Structure 1
């Protein structure tokens, strides 16, 4: 049991934040609360993506310090995450046309962070319910994800009697500003349901 004064690291406590390279695993992801900003377009060329990142991190740290100071509950700020989707999901595995992508950038926060604490920030606080998912750890450049996603979407998922349901989800365990592209560690996650459902 974690004491109220201990710093909680949810990456260690929540199994869905662990994945292994070269292996697809089926996991049950609990409902979690996130700071979220929505956007559209190529993350490498569009200013909106950089602006969203610049807005999320300061707020995440502000909430962490407020939680420690006023609630006596400290925790490790979680990594940046992204939901990605498009009208044609082949843009992720074949064409890789990033200009057609929609996205939600987000950072998980504990359930004791409430709406009042984020008012006026321009960031929304919402719960994401993913449930059953398939995920793996990708080590390498973001641009090298297509082959892994193709094997996940077109191989592992249908081969296990599943179908894709929610949005493609990425968890950025590495800071792309500080880590070489070939060493980036990213959890790739896809919500699924039984193909018969």
Structure 2
């Protein structure tokens, strides 16, 4: 059986330094996605979205591992795109008007057909309420600036500002604020949470 480490293969994208902001070229990648809106800290829809993404992702993983491809890989971390219709009102202090897409990257050999079979399997076994919201889509971000934030989400403000200042010295921000959550917040202390902060630029 072939074993692959996607985070290692994509190290520049998923293991940045916390000491500096760097520019990366993010290739098109395929994701399972769920959209929603509102404060993620108090939204049941947000929790349901995360749960169903991991359920489908692990179902796909074991289908691949036990199927003809016989490839084993680790499920990738949760990621989030964040924005507001009026970005001047996009503030960590008031998350009620936030819109979000939570997502998990899928390996290139995972096809829409495999996703559809996995979703049907999850529906037959559990049929979680958010399952109908799951979609499989490619995301192409291209040139981005990113860094690693270490600490609780509530203290991301200076890190985000640092990324924005870095971009403003050489170009312009575009697209949606992107975060990648590398830590299991159920187990790790908040002071050690690792979050990649990424912002598309041109």
When normalised by structure 1's length, the TM-score is: 0.89
Give the Cα separation in 2 of the matches to 1:159 and 1:169: 20
- The alignment's C-alpha RMSD in Å is 1.4
Is 1:188 matched with 2:197? Answer: yes
1:158 alignment counterpart: 168
Query: Could you list the runs of 5+ residues in structure 2 that have no partner in the other structure?
Result: 121-130
1:83 alignment counterpart: 81
| SS class of match (2:156) | helix
Q: CA deviation at 1:88?
A: 3.2
Give CA deviations for 1:11-41 in whole Å, capped at 9, x if unaligned: 1101211211131100111111111000101
| SS class of match (1:99) | coil
Please list, as runs of the form range in 1=range in 2, the aligned pairs for 1:26-175 lying within 5 A after superposition. Answer: 26-70=23-67, 71-92=69-90, 94=91, 96-119=93-116, 120=120, 121-122=131-132, 123-153=134-164, 155-160=165-170, 162-175=171-184
- With 64-73 and 111-120 compared, the bigger mean Cα shift is at 111-120
When normalised by structure 2's length, the TM-score is: 0.87
